[in-house]
Amino acid sequence: MADDAKKQEIFDKMKNGVIQYDEDACKEGAQEALDAGLDANEAIFDGLVAGMEEVGRLFEAQEYFVPEILMCADALYAGLDILKPHCKQMDIGVKGSVVIGTVEGDVHDIGKNLVKMMFDVAGFTVYDLGRDVPLDQFVEEQLKTDSELVCLSAMMTTSMVGMPKVIEKIKAKNPNCMIMIGGAPTSQELADKWGADGYATDASNALKEAIKMVSFLKKLRDEKLAKK
Amino acid sequence: MNSRERVLDLFKGKPIDRVPCFSGMGNITEEGINKLGYKFAAIHSDAKMLADTAASTYKLFGFESGVVPVDLCVEAEAMGCAINVYPHAEGILYPTIKEKLIHKEDEMDITLPSDLASKGRVKLICDAIKLLKADIGNDVVVGSYVLGPFTLAGQVMELNDLLKLSFKKVDKVAKLLDLMADAIIIVAKEYEKAGVDFITVREMGATSDVLSPRVFKNLILPPLQKILKELTASSVLHICGKTNDIVTFMMEAGPSAISVEQKNDVAETRKKLGKDALIFGNYDPYNVLVSGDENLVRSTMRQCIDNGVSAVWPGCDIWPTVPPQNMRAMMDEIKNYGGKE
């Protein structure tokens, strides 16, 4: 096992790789982490996710915009693809599966893909329905997979209005299913009115919400480790 | 002075009796469609139905413009993209692009069809403009819209790739945007020939929520300038989302007026651009006009006027399920309040 300084060096390489959208650095860092016998989950969270948290901050500070975030996401995935096969199942007390897609009438999927990425890193099983997804397909997929989370995305006001129908149908069949809505026209008011459990208005917001969710999972994991 | 004279004088910079209430973007209502007995999915491909629907917002509520098309796919379709009008949808779904022209970076070197002006629905929209003019053209202005070069590029190629390449391969993207500008000019010229009073250029994709002001200035501004220089009708440049940091660039692009949405601090924009700049905006067409009550509609209209808009105008398309009483409250409030200094 590598010493702490070496470990931090490897994690920092991945973290900075994500921040500087350097896919090669992320790949190298991930491989070094495996070669050094480091825990893959830890490398994902303390390397890749830590980098993405900083990217979220840079976006908020308007130093980064969407093109940069997309490139950072590519770098993150480059590392994730190497680490993922070596992840132990995260035992955090949730089954962790999510149905995600952009609603019918909308072909924008950037926000949706960023949220999906954070579920990917968190080890969720992601059922990605893609974009322009007929409303009933969300309901069917949730029932079929018994996912505890459904994420509906819409970039345009003109497509957002299909959301309440999906929420109503899913909640009628499965009241415990959590539903997150996302997209520029969404708001807390609409989420409340339509019975959604969360919302995110833009890519950074979606990223932040997803990071929050994933950071929460990380905290649970740390607490669990501390108990051992 | 009637609505048409009011808006035309506004564009000319002449004094007018009150702030007008109109839009250069989608403003059809379910109330209008239902009264006509049309099916939403059918109106996009029938000039008469399109013109009738576009005229209905003026006829029912006194809204001070008529605008066609009502969807955002005309240019991309003319360039060869397949569109989906959702013919079987129960409710209202706007057409989207089904098939892109460019699937990866090395396919970006495309050319325009030589007869672009006769492709897709360009002629149909021109026919609708003529019908609309004949119907309500003496009473209100008739407008049309085209997409901005970046927004159109986001339709003909994967937006994800376009955004990344705007960073990595600036020259390639600049070349594509210049071609988009050419396509947009061709379509806009047809609309002008058909007799529109004004054209709105909708560059929704280039908002500061997505692109930095620096990228906007370097990459988006030149093709916008190219387009707006070619237009002879009055023009409005619309950008969604955060725009306070780019309003001066929007003016530099050369439109007659700029249009901003609810995320723009209009009082600040007014300060920045001066008293003579035409600033249209900036109420939230969904959270105020559709889901708000009459009081919220009225207070928002007053707020827009107090903040200094030159015309009260929505931040995006008006969503068709807008309650008729909210449309009436909006028009009533502006007639009463819009003349106050």
A-B contacts at Cβ under 8 angstroms: 79
Q: Which residues contact B169 (CB under 8 A, 6 or more apart)?
A: B105
Q: Give the residue ranges of DSSP H helices in chain B.
A: 3-12, 30-36, 40-43, 47-61, 74-79, 122-136, 149-156, 159-168, 170-194, 213-215, 221-230, 247-252, 266-273, 294-307, 324-337
Query: In whole angstroms, what is the distance from residue B175 CA to residue B108 CA?
Result: 9
Q: Per residue of chain B (341 residues), what is the pLDDT tens digit?
A: 899 999 999 999 999 999 999 999 999 999 999 999 999 999 999 999 999 999 999 999 999 999 999 999 999 999 999 999 998 887 788 999 999 999 999 999 999 999 999 999 999 999 999 999 999 999 999 999 999 999 999 999 999 999 999 999 999 999 999 999 999 999 999 999 999 999 999 999 899 989 999 999 999 999 999 999 999 999 999 999 999 999 999 999 999 999 999 999 999 999 999 999 999 999 999 999 998 999 999 999 999 999 999 999 999 999 999 999 999 999 999 999 988 65
> What contacts 24+ positions apart, CB below 8 Å, involve B244-251?
B244/B208, B244/B268, B244/B269, B245/B208, B245/B213, B246/B208, B246/B213, B246/B216, B246/B217, B247/B272, B247/B273, B248/B272, B248/B273, B249/B213, B249/B216, B249/B217, B249/B221, B251/B277
Q: Comparing A2-11, A218-227, B34-43, B154-163, which segment has the lowest mean pLDDT?
A: A218-227
Q: What per-residue confidence (pLDDT) applies to B20?
A: 97
DSSP per position, B155-172: HHB-HHHHHHHHHH-HHH
Write down the residue that tokens 């059918």 correspond to: B42
Contact call for A184 and B209, based on CB within 8 A: yes
Residues of B in contact with A105 (CB under 8 A): 86, 89, 93-94, 96
- The pLDDT-based confidence of A199 (bands split at 50, 70, 90) is confident
Cβ neighbours of B166 in A, within 8 Å: 67
Q: How far is B160 from chain A (nearest CA, A)?
A: 7
What are the residue boundaries of the structural domains of chain B, listed by start?
A: 20-337
Of A34-38, A152-156, A198-202, A210-214, the range with the lowest mean pLDDT is A210-214
C-beta atoms surrounding B88 within 10 Å: 8
Residue A20 banded pLDDT, cuts 50, 70, 90:
very high
Average pLDDT of the residues of chain A: 85
* CA B54 to each of CA B70, B234, B284: distance values in angstroms, whole numbers, following the listed order: 8, 20, 21
Q: Is the pLDDT of residue A96 over 70?
A: yes
CB contact under 8 A, B287 and A110: no
- What is the distance of C-alpha A100 from the center of its chain? 10
The CATH code of the domain at A4-88 is: 1.10.1240.10
- Positive or negative torsion for Cα A156, B216, B242, B238: negative
Characterize the bridge pairing of strands B198-202 and B141-147: parallel
What is the predicted pLDDT for the residue at A91?
A: 47
pLDDT at A149: 86
Other CB atoms within 10 A of residue B202 CB: 23
What per-residue confidence (pLDDT) applies to A220? 61
**Nearest CB to A107 within list B97, B208, B286:** B97
Q: Identify the band that residue A146 occupies on the pLDDT scale cut at 50, 70 and 90.
A: confident
Strand partners, B295: none
Task: Select from A101, A97, A98 the least CA-distant residue to A163.
Answer: A101
Share above pLDDT 90 across residues of chain A, in percent, rounded to a whole number = 45
Closest Cα to residue A61, out of A71, A73, A53?
Answer: A53
Chain B residues near residue A156 by CB distance under 8 angstroms: 94, 316
Q: What is the mean pLDDT of residues A24-37?
A: 96
- With vertex at residue A169, the alpha carbon angle to CA A165 and CA A174, rounded to the nearest 5 degrees, is 145
Q: Does residue B211 sit at the A interface (CB-CB below 8 Å)?
A: yes
Q: Smallest Cβ distance to A105: which of B94, B168, B317?
A: B94
Least confident residue range of A89-103, A124-138, A203-217, B190-204: A203-217
**Closest among B45, B79, B316 to B200, alpha carbons compared:** B316
Domain ranges across chain A: 4-88, 97-207
A92: pLDDT strictly greater than 60: no
Amino acid symbol at B84 = N
**Domain A97-207, CATH among 3.40.50.150, 1.10.1200.10, 3.40.50.300, 3.40.50.280:** 3.40.50.280
Residues of chain B with C-beta less than 8 angstroms from the C-beta of A106: 96
Between B15 and A155, the more confident residue is B15
Chain B residues in contact with A71 (beta carbon < 8 A)? 164, 167-168
Please state, in angstroms and rounded to a whole number, the distance separating the CA atoms of residues B173 and A11: 35
Residue A47 predicted with pLDDT over 50: yes
What distance lies between CA A64 and its chain's CA centroid?
Answer: 19
Q: Tokens 């491989």 label which residue? A: A31
Please report which confidence band the pLDDT of residue A213 belongs to, taking 50, 70 and 90 as the band edges.
Answer: low
pLDDT at A226: 74
Interface contact B241, partner A, CB < 8 A: yes
Fold of B20-337: TIM Barrel (3.20.20)
Cβ pair A187:B91 closer than 8 A: no
Residue B94 in contact with partner chain A when CB distance is under 8 A: yes
The answer for A154, left when phi > 0, alpha when psi is -120 to 50, beta otherwise, is: beta
CA B163 to chain centre: 22
Inter-chain residue contact B96 with A132, CB threshold 8 Å: yes
Q: What is the 3-state secondary structure (H, E, C) of chain A?
A: CCCHHHHHHHHHHHHHHHHCCCHHHHHHHHHHHHHCCCCHHHHHHHHHHHHHHHHHHHHHCCCCCHHHHHHHHHHHHHHHHHHHHHCCCCCCCCCCEEEEEEECCCCCCHHHHHHHHHHHHCCCEEEECCCCECHHHHHHHHHHHCCCEEEEECCCHHHHCCHHHHHHHHHHHCCCCEEEEECCCCCHHHHHHHCCCEEECCHHHHHHHHHHHHHHHHHHHHHHHHHC
In our burial notation (b when 16+ CB lie closer than 10 A, e otherwise), range B252-289 reads ebbbbbbbbbbbbbbeebbeebeeebbbbbbbbbbbbb
Q: Give the CA dihedral B74, B23, B279, A205, nearest 10 degrees.
A: -70
Verify whether the Cβ–Cβ distance B159 to A108 is below 8 Å. yes
Contact indicator for B77, B44 with CB cutoff of 8 Å: no
- Alpha-carbon distance B214 to B216, whole Å? 5
